[in-house]
Amino acid sequence: MACFSKLCLHTDDTLSLFDDTTVTLGKTVRKFQHSTCEHYHTTKLLQEYATQGRCKAALSAKQGLLSKQKGKGKSSGPKVKKVNLQTYKYHALGDYPSTI
């Protein structure tokens, strides 16, 4: 997929292959999300969770005591992470061949 986007010169054949590959990739990623991701419980890494906690603590220290009182008791562990296909990267994927 990346090799098609890095070509300096495209022909009708390479654009057709690029388009077909993009469609196949989209179908495969959606299938992966529905079949594989549903069977696994994934969370943020402990390191990510600790970093997020330090950032929140630094931000609340900057903003003062008021924000500390609002955020009490909300954190109960690392957040659940799922594959998110609702991003611009996935949305624009189908437009690459036609844009070239």
99 and 50 within one domain: no
Q: Which residues contact 26 (CB under 8 A, 6 or more apart)?
A: 90, 93, 94
Q: Are 100 and 32 in contact (CB under 8 A)?
A: no
pLDDT tens track of the chain, all 100 residues? Answer: 667 767 778 788 888 888 999 999 989 999 998 888 888 888 888 888 888 888 888 888 888 755 445 555 565 777 888 888 889 988 888 888 888 7
Q: Quick one: DSSP state of residue 32?
A: H
53 and 65 within one domain: yes
Query: What's residue 28's pLDDT?
Result: 93
Q: Is residue 91 situated within a structural domain?
A: yes
- Name the residue range of residue 94's domain: 12-42+82-100
Q: Is residue 6 situated within a structural domain?
A: no
**pTM metric for this prediction:** 0.59
35 and 49 within one domain: no
Q: Is residue 68 situated within a structural domain?
A: yes
Domains of the chain: total: 2
Query: What's residue 2's pLDDT?
Result: 66
Q: Which residues contact 60 (CB under 8 A, 6 or more apart)?
A: 67, 68, 71
48 and 37 within one domain: no
